[in-house]
Structure 1
Amino acid sequence: MSRIGKKPVELPSGVTAEVKGQTISVKGPKGTRSFTATDDVDLVLDGSTVTVKPRGLSKRARQQWGMSRSMVANLVTGVTTGFRKDLEIQGVGYRATMQGKTLKLALGYSHDVNFDAPEGVTVNAPKQTEIVVEGIDQQAVGQTAANIRDWKRPEPYKGKGIRYKGEVVFRKEGKKK
């Protein structure tokens, strides 16, 4: 039995959900999100709780049970508080600035990198060495943060590059004489 799938998803005040067949749409203060579950699970709305139940005991039904419950919980979290990823820039001369909706990164290349955030994701640079990625879609926020980080991953010798806040970079010792 799925430990995650057994837990019902509570809808906080100000959040409404609507189930039509295999699709659930959740509306909250930050926006509206929807998810379509596979035919292996049933979505049941009981007042202010959403429960996910498997349609059988097959391996696929049990896999989809926990995953579908996690997806519904992420919908509720997204429309209430949203998701956020913090990035740090380390390195001499490395910095980030906002020009309108474009993130401008100076990362030691011969040119500045211009990064446009996708639809539904906001990117801010409160300081020159910090980048904040926010949105209601967890996958889009994580992918956008990963795309920004890919421009200059932290290197193991000096630790220069873009890293997630709190990320530990394994440092190597340099050449010895």
Structure 2
Amino acid sequence: MSRIGKLPITIPNSVEVNYNDAKIIIKGKFGTLETKIPETILIQQNDNILSVSLKNEIRSLRSLHGLYRTLINNMVIGVSEQFKLTLILKGVGYRAIVQGKEIVLNLGYSHPVNIEIPELISVEVVQNTIINLESCDKELLGLFAANIRAWRRPEPYKGKGILYKNEQILRKAGKAGK
């Protein structure tokens, strides 16, 4: 058995869990998430504790045990607390603005970059250079942050670009002068 898969999932009082053989639906104050579950994975609920187990111990299926336990745990945490990510724009003239359902980024290109915001994600821009992202879906949040960051990856010489909060950029020395 997987070490992670054996761990129980504690369900807060504000979260409602419904499952059948094919999928699991989790509802909370920040939204509703659902995912498909393979037939080989069993889910049992006792009071406020959810446990994930396998029907049969085949080597190829054991890897799914820990994976689906973690996915379900992330869904429970997301609908009860939400996940937060912070991006920092570092560079001269770099700034962000939220306009309706889009985030507009000025990143040193000759044109502004418009990125559409998905429904489950809320975006807040602080001081033009700090972008706070919140969502109940951890996977969607990470993917959206990676799409924003892909427009200007941090470069090692001046440290400019779009950084995650508390990210350390390994700096390189520039050209040696005479």
* Correspondence 1:150 to 2:137: no
Does the Cα contact within 8 Å between 1:42 and 1:52 map onto a contact in 2?
yes
Equivalent-residue separation in structure 1 for 2:54 and 2:132 (angstroms): 38
TM-score for both structures, normalised by structure 1: 0.95
Unaligned runs of 5+ in 1: none
Partner of 1:168: 168
Write the deviation string for residues 27-59 of structure 1: whole angstroms up to 9, x where unpaired.
Answer: 111111112211221111222221111111111
Partner of 2:30: 30
Q: Residue 22 of structure 2 aligns to which amino acid in structure 1?
A: Q
**How do 1:79-158 residues align onto structure 2 when only pairs under 5 Å count?**
79-158=79-158
Identity among equivalent positions (%) equals 41
Does the Cα contact within 8 Å between 1:22 and 1:43 map onto a contact in 2?
no
Q: Residue 168 of structure 1 aligns to which amino acid in structure 2?
A: Q
Does the Cα contact within 8 Å between 2:21 and 2:37 map onto a contact in 1?
no
Equivalent-residue separation in structure 2 for 1:67 and 1:22 (angstroms): 16
Partner of 2:72: 72
SS in 1 for 2:103: strand
Unaligned runs of 5+ in 2: none
Equivalent-residue separation in structure 2 for 1:21 and 1:131 (angstroms): 40
- Runs (4+) of structure 1 exceeding 3 A deviation are none
Does the Cα contact within 8 Å between 1:40 and 1:60 map onto a contact in 2?
no
Q: How many residues align?
A: 177
SS in 1 for 2:126: coil
Q: 1:146 Cα shift?
A: 0.4
Equivalent-residue separation in structure 2 for 1:173 and 1:143 (angstroms): 32
Equivalent-residue separation in structure 2 for 1:117 and 1:161 (angstroms): 20
Equivalent-residue separation in structure 1 for 2:154 and 2:55 (angstroms): 46
